[in-house]
Amino acid sequence: MIHGHGGNIFDNARQLGCNPADILDMSSNVNPLGPMPGLIHHLALQLEQITALPETDAGGITRLFSDRHGVTTEKALAGNGTTQLIYILPGALKLRQILILGPTYADYEDACRMNGVSYRCEYTDASHGFRHDFNQLETKLEHCDAVIICNPNNPTGVLIPRETIMMLCQKHPDILFIVDESYMPFVPEPTAQSLMTCNLPNVIILNSMSKIFRIPGLRIGFVIASPAIITSIARYMLPWSVNALAQAAVAYLMTHDPEVTAFIRETQNVLSAERQFVMDSLQSAFGLTLFPSVTSFILGELKHHIAAELAGYLLNDRILIRNCANFGGLSERYFRISLKTHAVNAMLADRLRKFCTETPVP
């Protein structure tokens, strides 16, 4: 059983004696504007699809996804969210030693443990802006057959330039580079930064629809890689991994340009303004540091308190944030907030200022 996740809104609702919908979830990294207009109505019209089995291998939506993103169909595979694919990859690719760039999503480590694959983590920290030195990283690759990179990274919100990763991949053709681009759609000009069409045989890309389109309950993810790698992964996929409504959602999203493009662009613009607003609002907050981000979330560090204190303080107001103490490489002073509407972000900034000024320093 995975153990790296943070606050569970259902558990917290039970503790508070309320409904999950009564809690403002600022721990989940989903689009504050989503779901995309029209999608929920479309899915409501597709409910009868649950009375029959969906397409076994989700080949129809894989073709639609491939066409929209400019990759050939044999280079893509649909899964039950990117997390399912993360857990399949180590075993399907017969990996032996994985290097994980952290601090990052805990499921990469959990996937290695579940598959009995050795791994090590290479951490960076706040003094380096949570950016890895790729020159020093060269010395860490010995004996590794794969590297996992989350780009942009969760929870730090840091984007590694496409050219930087490309150079590393090209210099080490015998090493597989698994690049999780789940948050790439939140980045301005994501196509220019994505490695999805890089055509390097040792690069594997993970793409998520859960975050940008705010449909995490449907579980939709894709893996993009060479045909040989896709064939290896496909052998480990269970039939009907992608349910009927998830396939209906992808079919809608992949066939509704320019609406999809406009929705993503609006999301990027709104988040850019809200990130700046929150950063400016809390710039002088006592004992609080926020780190620059290109995503829908912001990592914060407390100087005088621990994140569990802040999380408990906010939960009294039915606000849930992510305590990052269980991210490898981060201390108990780190937390993450997911941006919402301007009114909600302003309210959270006010609560954070009050916590920092009114909570006694231990």
- Whether 251 and 171 map to the same domain: the answer is yes
Write down the pTM of the prediction.
0.96
pLDDT-based confidence at residue 5 (cuts at 50, 70, 90): low
Note the pLDDT of residue 21.
83
- Whether 312 and 232 map to the same domain: the answer is no
Q: What is the pLDDT of residues 64-77, one digit of tens each?
A: 999 999 999 999 99
- Whether 162 and 211 map to the same domain: the answer is yes
- Whether 214 and 300 map to the same domain: the answer is no
- Whether 278 and 334 map to the same domain: the answer is yes
- Whether 76 and 196 map to the same domain: the answer is yes
pLDDT-based confidence at residue 9 (cuts at 50, 70, 90): confident
Q: What is the pLDDT of residues 256-296, one digit of tens each?
A: 999 999 999 999 999 999 999 999 999 999 999 999 999 99
CATH, residue 353: 3.90.1150.10
Domain end residue (candidates: 222, 256, 290): 256
Percent of the chain predicted with pLDDT > 70: 98
- Whether 161 and 214 map to the same domain: the answer is yes
Are the C-beta atoms of residues 270 and 337 closer than 8 Å to each other? no
Please give, one letter per residue, the 3-state secondary structure of the chain: CCCCCCCCHHHHHHHHCCCHHHCEECCCCCCCCCCCCCHHHHHHHCHHHHHCCCCCCCHHHHHHHHHHHCCCHHHEEEECCHHHHHHHHHHHCCCCEEEEEECCCCHHHHHHHHCCCEEEEEECCHHHCCCCCHHHHHHHCCCCCEEEEECCCCCCCCCCCHHHHHHHHHHCCCCEEEEECCCHHHCCCHHHHCCCCCCCCCEEEEEECCCCCCCHHHCCEEEECCHHHHHHHHCCCCCCCCCHHHHHHHHHHHCCCCHHHHHHHHHHHHHHHHHHHHHHHCCCCCCEEECCCCCCEEEEEECCCCHHHHHHHHHCCCEECEEHHHCCCCCCCEEEEECCCHHHHHHHHHHHHHHHHHCCCC
Note the pLDDT of residue 115.
97
pLDDT-based confidence at residue 362 (cuts at 50, 70, 90): confident
pLDDT-based confidence at residue 126 (cuts at 50, 70, 90): very high
Q: How far is CA 323 from the centre of its chain?
A: 16
Q: What mean pLDDT is predicted for residues 248-258?
A: 97
Report the distance separating Cα 188 and Cα 18, nearest Å: 38
Any residues with CB less than 8 A from the CB of 340 and at least 6 apart, and which?
24, 26, 32, 348
Which domain range does residue 330 map to? 9-35+260-358
Are the C-beta atoms of residues 285 and 353 closer than 8 Å to each other? yes
| Of 10 and 104, more confident | 104
Q: What is the pLDDT of residues 144-188, one digit of tens each?
A: 999 999 999 999 999 999 999 999 999 999 999 999 999 999 999
Note the pLDDT of residue 2.
52
Q: What is the pLDDT of residues 26-78, one digit of tens each?
A: 999 999 998 999 999 999 999 999 999 999 999 999 999 999 999 999 999 99
Note the pLDDT of residue 1.
47
| Cβ-count burial 189-223 (b if 16+ within 10 Å, e if not) | ebeebbbbebeeebbbbbbbbbbbbbbbebbbbbb
Is 41 within the bounds of a domain? no
Number of domains in the chain: 2
Q: What is the pLDDT of residues 325-349, one digit of tens each?
A: 999 999 999 999 999 999 999 999 9
Note the pLDDT of residue 361.
83
- Whether 79 and 150 map to the same domain: the answer is yes
Is 42 within the bounds of a domain? no
Chain mean pLDDT for the chain: 95
Report the distance separating Cα 63 and Cα 60, nearest Å: 5
Q: What mean pLDDT is predicted for residues 189-204?
A: 96
- Whether 107 and 191 map to the same domain: the answer is yes
Q: What mean pLDDT is predicted for residues 200-222?
A: 97
